[in-house]
Structure 1
Amino acid sequence: MYSEIHQFEPTLPSDRLWTELYPIAEKIVIDSTRLTEKAHATTRSVIRELVRQMNSYYSNRIEGQSTHPLNIADALKRHFSHRPDEARLQRIALAHIGAEQALEQALGDHSPLSSGFLIGAHREMYQRLAPEDRLSDDGLEIMPGQLRNKEVKVGEHVAPTAESIPRFLSRMNQQYEPIRGETQTLIIAACAHHRGAWVHPFLDGNGRALRLQSHCALWKLSEGLWSPSRGFARDTSKYYEALNAADRMREGDYDGRGNLSQQGFSTWILYFLSICQDQVSYMSKMLDLDGVRKRIEALIIMRSLNNKDYRTEAILPLMHVFALGPVTRGDFSQMTGLGERTARTLIAKLLEDGLLLSDHRVGPVRMGLPLDALNVLFPALYPEVNQPLI
């Protein structure tokens, strides 16, 4: 049984590994920073809320407790399934979304890579659920933010003794809590994700809490436009394989100086960085304005073939609100070049279908990203949206 902090060293990359990792992480930071130049702030806000739903879906899917994306959208409108099991999954999804929002708002008060933040992530998630909704697979109630008081084995990994958890968390604070630059933070976030999983501080819900922590640790970099959870969930077996690699014991004199394998740690960190790079690259491609214009054009042409209220004259003003932000309804109408009545009908249809959003009945309009348009506007971002409801 693990009980001494030296048993989960190394907690940071070696100098040689750090030199290898730094340029990889630096490219991710540069590419991610450029994302904010590709769409107006109001459009990024809509994307951010979409990614938040997506994070909930994917993080819960990793745990085998996901509900259909359309059910999550319904739950956000307080429409719950009449099927108890499905309604429970909807409530779990809402708890994840609410926890993510609350944790993002708390970022100015706490280091996201501290053990206190991790405990807070667990608390925020599970305090939003009724006792009957937070039962583990063994039927035990998961207590929000409470460190485990019993010994556990996760797959082949025997976690540290319950009594020793505070010592391991204290060591993680020493190594991970200090505020660093974005490139360093990206690498440290990968380290903290695995070592937190290795310690397994909670009886259940460790994975969700750690993914919430990683999301928040990268928030300053990502602004919520991308998250590693999507990459983890798209091939869960690789996620667990990479985590397990970093569980390995040291294998000889050429495998670092700690108790655990430096090579296995490297495998995990490189995997984590590859997931981040993939997510940033995908979102960069999706926000490229030439591509956005073509996909808006394709969507409107497709819909105009089946509904006379859709007009191709909507393409230009939709592109405008995506890239440059909200406009008055009069300006949107003018950009279509249509007659007043026809333009009003078009705007009403776009609002009804969620391609335009507005806070007031006659207020300015901004870009929307309804789930039923994602297969065209953001292909492959959230493909499960298109799966049939069962």
Structure 2
Amino acid sequence: MTPSFAEPYIPSEQSIARSVLPEKAIELEQKSHALDCSMAAPAKLILEKHMRAVNSYCSNLIEGNNTKPWAIRRAAAGDYNADPVTKNLQLEAVAHMRAQDWLREQSIDLKTLCARDFICELHRVFYAAMPDSMLVIKNDTRKTESILVPGAFRDRAVIVGRHVPPDPNYLGAFISRFQDAYGSRREGIVPIIAAMAAHHRLVWVHPFLDGNGRVARLFTDEYLRQIGVGGARLWIMSRGLAVSHAQYKLRLHRADIPRQGDYDGRGNLSEKELIAFCVYMLDTALNQVDYITELLQFDGMIRRIKSYVLARNEDRIPRYGKLPPEASTILERAFVTGTIERRELYEMFHGRSERTIRATVQQLKAEGLLSETSSLSPLSWAIPEHAESYYLPDLTPSIRPSS
């Protein structure tokens, strides 16, 4: 088996032009850019940080790990469940967050992102802190076991459903061709289409014994950012893939099939099904951009902040008491501007005592509704767990994890 078995890596120009891919790619680029420009930079950073646990939850949920975002955040802070099985799942989810952080710290280009060394390092970063028990992989017959080596290509043949990925001896050649196909800069909307096609082809090659889906989703997130899709950290592709996980797995499977006749491209695999997969991925991305854009509209968010404060003052949020009258105004201002200078608070509430304002700010900080980097820094909008369902309703999809 040679790298030509995964052709076409990208649909032909003619096939793209005849499809709905161009209009969807343009729409994604425009909507994601508009979302990126709609938030104040400090509030945007807060939201991006909050989304890390949601991204981890959704990506791992697709693989059957149903560790909720609140449990992931607590584990990231060192608070693990006493049950060993639950703790291992938390470790897996935290590993996903750390891989996201690692990706943000890298200074790379598209060619490096698609290289064997980088893809292996991403896998290694993900699995490096896993306990030994999480690295034991059952073979296809379930009668024998293999040990997953973080960052190492698999050394044995595997079967994934009906798909037989490339023999391990040819993985290097396939990833080299993968880099050639997807690591070059292109003009127009083709890079966005390439990002979606690359997701399938990386899963198809299946370079690792385990973790291929998670690595592919992390890879796709970073690919979108590398090609300049603005706001790509504000919306989460994996959330849409988790919501439609049955369709996601079906589309991955359908894109595995061989070419279906002379009118189905010129590669070994079906070009029509690759296009259908890319359409599905773009639709998923657009759905998530629309969802987050609607949530972050000023009028809607201000209304939900007011609703949260009202719920607090009507004792509808357990374990949290009433909020002072100034709280709603402070939280609304923090969202709109991203940060508030402390002196602004005294100007906003002219006539109120400094002691009252300080007490209100102290309560909002203590409850995670405002954050700061120091006692003198501006105050930033924040999203504590007890406010998430009000600020960002339905952010965490409630679905049955796959088996």
Whether 1:277 aligns to 2:286 is yes
Whether 1:6 aligns to 2:25 is no
Where 1:165 maps in the other structure, the secondary structure is helix
Could you say which residue in structure 2 is the equivalent of 1:315? 328
Where 1:281 maps in the other structure, the secondary structure is helix
Distance 1:137 1:358, change over 3 A: farther
What CA distance in whole angstroms lies between the structure 1 residues aligned with 2:290 and 2:114?
25
Give the unaligned 5+ runs of structure 2.
Answer: 140-144
Where 1:345 maps in the other structure, the secondary structure is helix
Where 1:140 maps in the other structure, the secondary structure is strand
Whether 1:371 aligns to 2:372 is no
Could you say which residue in structure 2 is the equivalent of 1:204? 210
Q: Is the 8 A contact 2:243 2:397 kept in 1?
A: no
One-letter amino acid of the counterpart of residue 155, structure 1: G
Could you say which residue in structure 2 is the equivalent of 1:141? 147
Alignment of 1:157-176 (within 5 A): 157-176=163-182
One-letter amino acid of the counterpart of residue 169, structure 2: E
Q: Is the 8 A contact 2:242 2:397 kept in 1?
A: no
Task: Note the C-alpha offset of 1:361.
Answer: 3.8
Where 2:295 maps in the other structure, the secondary structure is helix
Could you say which residue in structure 2 is the equivalent of 1:23? 23
What CA distance in whole angstroms lies between the structure 2 residues aligned with 1:41 and 1:287?
13
- RMSD between aligned alpha carbons? 2.1
Alignment of 1:223-372 (within 5 A): 223-306=232-315, 309-336=322-349, 338-361=352-375, 363-372=377-386
Distance 1:383 1:276, change over 3 A: closer
What CA distance in whole angstroms lies between the structure 1 residues aligned with 2:262 and 2:75?
54
Where 2:326 maps in the other structure, the secondary structure is helix
Could you say which residue in structure 2 is the equivalent of 1:35? 35
What CA distance in whole angstroms lies between the structure 2 residues aligned with 1:30 and 1:114?
29
Q: Deviations over 1:142-166 (max 9, x none)?
A: 1111111111000111111111111
Whether 1:177 aligns to 2:183 is yes
Where 1:136 maps in the other structure, the secondary structure is strand
Where 1:167 maps in the other structure, the secondary structure is helix
One-letter amino acid of the counterpart of residue 282, structure 2: L
What CA distance in whole angstroms lies between the structure 2 residues aligned with 1:172 and 1:80?
39
Could you say which residue in structure 1 is the equivalent of 2:142? none
Could you say which residue in structure 1 is the equivalent of 2:197? 191
Where 2:82 maps in the other structure, the secondary structure is coil
Number of aligned residue pairs: 384
One-letter amino acid of the counterpart of residue 321, structure 1: A
Q: Deviations over 1:74-99 (max 9, x none)?
A: 11211111111111111111111111
Task: Note the C-alpha offset of 1:279.
Answer: 1.1
What CA distance in whole angstroms lies between the structure 2 residues aligned with 1:40 and 1:322?
8
Task: Note the C-alpha offset of 1:34.
Answer: 1.1
Q: Is the 8 A contact 1:99 1:125 kept in 2?
A: yes
Whether 1:59 aligns to 2:59 is yes
What CA distance in whole angstroms lies between the structure 2 residues aligned with 1:305 and 1:340?
26
Task: Note the C-alpha offset of 1:181.
Answer: 4.9
What CA distance in whole angstroms lies between the structure 1 residues aligned with 2:93 and 2:246?
22
What CA distance in whole angstroms lies between the structure 1 residues aligned with 2:304 and 2:361?
19
Stretch of structure 1 that moved more, 339-348 or 31-40: 339-348
Task: Note the C-alpha offset of 1:343.
Answer: 2.5
Distance 1:99 1:182, change over 3 A: farther
What CA distance in whole angstroms lies between the structure 2 residues aligned with 1:203 and 1:37?
40
Task: Note the C-alpha offset of 1:246.
Answer: 0.5
What CA distance in whole angstroms lies between the structure 1 residues aligned with 2:396 and 2:87?
21
What CA distance in whole angstroms lies between the structure 1 residues aligned with 2:15 and 2:114?
21
One-letter amino acid of the counterpart of residue 14, structure 2: R
Whether 1:154 aligns to 2:155 is no
Task: Note the C-alpha offset of 1:187.
Answer: 1.0
What CA distance in whole angstroms lies between the structure 1 residues aligned with 2:398 and 2:187?
35
Task: Note the C-alpha offset of 1:200.
Answer: 0.7
Distance 1:302 1:312, change over 3 A: farther
Task: Note the C-alpha offset of 1:136.
Answer: 2.6
Q: Is the 8 A contact 2:42 2:339 kept in 1?
A: yes
Task: Note the C-alpha offset of 1:336.
Answer: 4.3
Could you say which residue in structure 2 is the equivalent of 1:74? 74
Q: Is the 8 A contact 1:68 1:384 kept in 2?
A: no
One-letter amino acid of the counterpart of residue 14, structure 1: S
Where 2:269 maps in the other structure, the secondary structure is coil
Give the unaligned 5+ runs of structure 1.
Answer: none
TM-score when scaled to structure 1?
Answer: 0.92
What CA distance in whole angstroms lies between the structure 2 residues aligned with 1:380 and 1:365?
27
Where 1:154 maps in the other structure, the secondary structure is coil
Task: Note the C-alpha offset of 1:324.
Answer: 1.3
Task: Note the C-alpha offset of 1:284.
Answer: 1.1
Where 1:180 maps in the other structure, the secondary structure is coil
One-letter amino acid of the counterpart of residue 287, structure 2: D
Task: Note the C-alpha offset of 1:113.
Answer: 3.3
Task: Note the C-alpha offset of 1:341.
Answer: 3.1
Stretch of structure 1 that moved more, 264-273 or 8-17: 8-17
Stretch of structure 1 that moved more, 336-345 or 246-255: 336-345
Distance 1:89 1:269, change over 3 A: same
